[in-house]
Amino acid sequence: MEISTLAIYHCLAFVWYFFVTYSITHLRAEERPSEVFLYGGQWKYLTVLNLVLQAVFYGVSFLADVLRLIKKLRCAKCLISSRDLLFSVLAFPVSTFVSISFWTLYTYNRELVYPKSLDGVIPLWLNHAMHTAVLPFALLEILALPHRYPAKKKGLILLGFVAFLYISWVLWIYSVTGEWVYPLFALFSPFGLAAFFAGSLAIIISFYNFGEFLNRMIWGKSEFCL
């Protein structure tokens, strides 16, 4: 894509994710089921955290495009490095994991991840914005322009560290409230839960590798030029 087209696309994507994040975080208090919005509020859900992540990523991407348009290449180069790191390590694997894991579990037993009580609170369009649209957005980003991936070891360490932080957040919430973020977790023994977390990490790592594979297949090993 031309830089100006990329700038428009990234700006629209940023506005979209900002709007979706605003919409989910500003549900009227009287409409919120008490069992869902306890300690940690919406910020305990990976889906909502992913919305913030995507908004940050597209915001950084838009700023990088603008700096390239006005020929501030030194600043643009720094932002492009941050953009590529965000996309490769977090934005693509997390959004892919959120979409595929949610709809897989929803199809199996929706009560494990998205209780029916939420249907009267969260509009259908917002559900799809959070759990469906994130995947085509991620794929479109790969098609739109190449991204530099970090060294494999560095990328996996960063991804593993972020996964560890989220798992720690989930366990902390349970220790404080005695309630799991997702009803699914209550079905597991401690060993089973550890195995589930390990399996989820393995899946998200596979999505990281898949994103790198797609990027290489589409763009080869060519460097992104300013």
How confident is the model over 155-168, as pLDDT tens digits? 999 999 999 999 99
The answer to whether position 31 is within a domain reads no
The answer to whether position 80 is within a domain reads yes
Q: Does 137 score more than 80 pLDDT?
A: yes
Query: Residue type at 26?
Result: H
Q: Token pair for residue 182?
A: 């997702």
Task: Dump pLDDT digits (tens) for 42-95.
Answer: 889 999 999 999 999 999 999 999 998 887 777 778 899 999 999 999 999 999
What pLDDT was estimated at residue 220?
85
The secondary structure of 118-162 as a DSSP string is GGGTS-HHHHHHHHTTHHHHHHHHHHHS--PPPPHHHHHHHHHHH
The answer to whether position 203 is within a domain reads yes
- Look up the pTM and report it: 0.91
The answer to whether position 30 is within a domain reads no
The answer to whether position 224 is within a domain reads no
What pLDDT was estimated at residue 115?
86
The phi, psi pair for 25, rounded to 5°, reads -90, -5
Q: Does 37 score more than 60 pLDDT?
A: no
Angstrom CA distances, 104 to 26, 132, 194, stand at 27, 12, 20
What angle (nearest 5°) sits at the alpha carbon of residue 154, between those of residues 77 and 147?
40
**Residue holding tokens 């900002």?**
18
What pLDDT was estimated at residue 72?
73
Q: Token pair for residue 142?
A: 């790969």
**What's the rounded mean pLDDT across residues 172-184?**
90
CA–CA gap between residue 103 and residue 134 (Å, rounded): 12
Total number of domains in the chain:
1
Q: Does 35 score more than 60 pLDDT?
A: no
What pLDDT was estimated at residue 33?
52
What pLDDT was estimated at residue 225?
44
CA–CA gap between residue 198 and residue 218 (Å, rounded): 30
**What's the rounded mean pLDDT across residues 13-34?**
80
Count other Cβ atoms within 10 Å, centred on residue 222: 8
Percent of residues, the chain, with pLDDT higher than 70: 92
The answer to whether position 131 is within a domain reads yes
The answer to whether position 199 is within a domain reads yes
The answer to whether position 97 is within a domain reads yes
CA–CA gap between residue 188 and residue 18 (Å, rounded): 35
**What's the rounded mean pLDDT across residues 199-226?**
86
Q: Does 177 score more than 90 pLDDT?
A: no
Sign of CA dihedral 128, 131, 134, 135: negative
Instruction: Give the structural domain span for 60.
Output: 3-25+40-219
**What's the rounded mean pLDDT across residues 4-18?**
95
The phi, psi pair for 123, rounded to 5°, reads -60, 155
What is the average pLDDT value for the chain, to the nearest integer? 89
Count other Cβ atoms within 10 Å, centred on residue 170: 20
